[in-house]
Amino acid sequence: MPATGFDASVRTVDGRAVIDLRGQIDGSAKDELGAIYERSVLGDAGDVLLNFAGVEYINSTGIALIVGLLGRARAEGRTLAACGLSDHYREIFEITRLADFIAIYPDEASATAEDEKEPT
């Protein structure tokens, strides 16, 4: 794991960019997270799925970074979805109302399966 404690990679699945996030999303993840988002939308990929399965810690600065990503995605007309959040961070997505703007799926499989449907 890199010194920042954060690492991410991007893949494309059925025309949607999937960003696999790992480690800690805090202030130190800022540059890496920005860069990976840029990479994920290269070639005008459509919607973006953030996969939090490998994330162990998100703090308030991390929440601010996700708000920033959401703002960019909305400005570009993309949909942002999330999967793999622990119950605790799902709760935080709910109380911060991020869940009102980001569809949340339990895992990647359900996110893909439910792609065209309303999230649960």
Partner 1 sequence: MATFVHSLRRVVRRSETDERPDVAERVEVPAALAGQPPLEIAPNDPIIAYFQSARGAVAIDGLELDSPALAALRAAGVKLVVPLVTQGELIGLLNLGSRLSDQEYSGDDRRLLEGLAAQAAPAVRVGQLVREQEAEIRSRERLEQELQVAKLIQQHFLPRTSPDLPGWDIDAYYHPAREVGGDFYDFIALEDGKIGLVIGDVTDKGVPAALVMAATRSVLRAAAQRLIDPGEVLERVNEHLCPDIPENMFVTCLYGVLEPATGRLRFANAGHNLPCVRSGSRVVELRATGMPLGLMPGMRYDEAEAVLDPGAQILLYSDGLVEAHDGRREMFGTPRLTELFAVLGRGERLIDRVLGSLAEFTGGGAEQEDDITLVSLRRSAADHVQLAEFTLASEPGNEREAMRRVETAVAPLGIPPERLERLKTAVAEATMNAMEHGNGYDAELPVHVTVAADSRELTVRITDQGGARPIPEAPAPDLDAKLAGEQTPRGWGLFLIRSMVDAVAASGDERHHTMALTLYLEGDADAGNGL
List residues binding partner 1 (CB under 8 A).
5, 24, 26-28, 57, 59-61, 63-65, 67-68, 70-71, 74, 86-88, 91-92, 95-98, 100-101
Instruction: Name the residue nearer to partner 1 (CB basis): 54 or 71.
Output: 71
| DSSP letter string, 4-33 | TSEEEEEEEETTEEEEEEEEEESGGGHHHH
| 3-class DSSP state of 2 | coil
Residue placing its CB nearer to partner 1 in the complex, 101 or 112: 101
Query: Considering the complex, what minimum distance in angstroms separates the CB of residue 80 from partner 1?
Result: 11
Residue 11 or 74 having the CB closest to partner 1: 74
Contact 63, 98 (CB under 8 A): yes
Shortest Cβ distance from residue 68 to partner 1 (Å)?
5
* Contact call for residues 54 and 21 (beta carbons, < 8 A): yes
30-61 b/e with 16+ CB inside 10 Å = b? Answer: bebbeebbeebbeeebebbbbbbeebeebeee
CB of 116 to partner 1, least distance (A): 25
Q: Measured from the CB atom, is 86 or 110 closer to partner 1?
A: 86
Count of beta carbons in the 10 Å neighbourhood of residue 8: 22
